[in-house]
Structure 1
Amino acid sequence: MPVADRARHAAGVPGEPATRDLLLFSHGFCTALTAHHVGEDRELFPAVAAAHPHLRDTLRSLEQDHSMIAHLLGALQTAVDQRAGASELDRHLEGVAAVMESHLRYEERQLLPVLETLRLDAEVSTVLGPL
């Protein structure tokens, strides 16, 4: 089940406050995704830029996506904390899902061939977060 669908299921009945399951899911998802993006920005992207300078514009675009996603996750977390109804949470989840889908497709197209040959000295969990 895709992440957004699982979160919607945990959200419960439209118009009702978020359930405990959604609160836990949202916190865990936001924390893990944020750590993943921080690791990419701090460790992975500088290594890619050093080895493949022609990808610097791509990396800047991905970092901008990370910033946008952080903003969307912050808005989702605020809605969850304020016990927003399921329909409002669904709007937030749809926004996160749309940006994430686009981001992941672009990232895979641009970086997968490079990542197969990239050598990193850092631990995988430092680079990619606790995912």
Structure 2
Amino acid sequence: MKTHPAAHEPGHSSAPLTGFSQCHLGILSQLQAFEELPALQAAAAQAQTIATHTLALFHDAVYEHHADEERELFPAVLRSARRGEEADFAEAMVRRLTAEHRHIEALWKKLEPAVKAVAKARPVELDLGAVEELVRNYAAHARFEEEHFLPLAETVLRRNGNHMEALGLSLHLRHTPQPIGHI
């Protein structure tokens, strides 16, 4: 292999070549970061999708679910509970569950602006601690309701079949679109 004659001349510096080498290192480093771009794009798209679905979840499901419970289920159970200990127990649970609804909704209201920003692919710092608190609170709320309140509601409303049917009808009517027009 022939070498360039200037490479062996005395006083010749390799500084210009070192610059080319360093440039290659910088280019390769950036290209390695570039290789991660598709995965990061997928993660960003997934974050947008989750944020969008979470916004819809709260607006279309969580608030509606809380309203159904507070306007239909809780009053039905309180009306049908036997006076005394059962009614007192039901009332205490309804107060607790309603307070939990407001707490969960307040936690969501604090997170909602950041979640909207994520849904629109805007840079924002989402508070992981606040997200975990909301999820933890909702999980505890749902667990308490499933383990304690819904079994009581089943007992109370099943005593009289009409009470359970009335609740079902009331919920159905609440979610049926109202006709527009005059009779």
RMSD in angstroms over aligned alpha carbons?
2.5
Gap runs ≥5 in structure 2: 1-42, 82-86, 119-123, 158-163, 176-183
Q: Which amino acid is 1:122 matched to?
A: S
Give the whole-Å Cα distance in 2 for the aligned partners of 1:19 and 1:106: 30
Partner in structure 1 of residue 74 of structure 2: 45
| Alignment map for 1:1-131 (pairs within 5 Å) | 12=43, 19-31=47-59, 32-52=61-81, 53-54=87-88, 55-83=90-118, 84-85=124-125, 88-117=126-155, 118=157, 119=164, 120=167, 121-123=169-171, 126=174
User: Is the contact between residue 26 and residue 77 of structure 1 (CA under 8 Å) also seen in structure 2?
Assistant: no
Gap runs ≥5 in structure 1: 1-11
Give the whole-Å Cα distance in 2 for the aligned partners of 1:22 and 1:56: 36
Tell me which structure has the larger Cα radius of gyration.
2
Query: After alignment, is 49-58 or 113-122 more displaced?
Result: 113-122
Give the whole-Å Cα distance in 2 for the aligned partners of 1:70 and 1:107: 17
Partner in structure 2 of residue 8 of structure 1: none
Instruction: State the identity as a percent.
Output: 27
1:75 match: secondary structure: helix
Structure 2 length as normaliser, TM-score?
0.53
Partner in structure 1 of residue 18 of structure 2: none
Q: Which amino acid is 1:101 matched to?
A: A
Give the whole-Å Cα distance in 1 for the aligned partners of 2:173 and 2:115: 27
Structure 1 length as normaliser, TM-score?
0.71
Cα distance change on mapping 1:96 and 1:68 into 2, 3 Å: same
Q: CA deviation at 1:116?
A: 2.4
Partner in structure 2 of residue 5 of structure 1: none
Q: Deviations over 1:4-47 (max 9, x none)?
A: xxxxxxxx47xxxx942133112111111111011111111111
Partner in structure 1 of residue 33 of structure 2: none
Give the whole-Å Cα distance in 2 for the aligned partners of 1:41 and 1:100: 16
Q: CA deviation at 1:109?
A: 2.3
Q: How many residues in Structure 1 have an aligned counterpart in Structure 2? A: 111
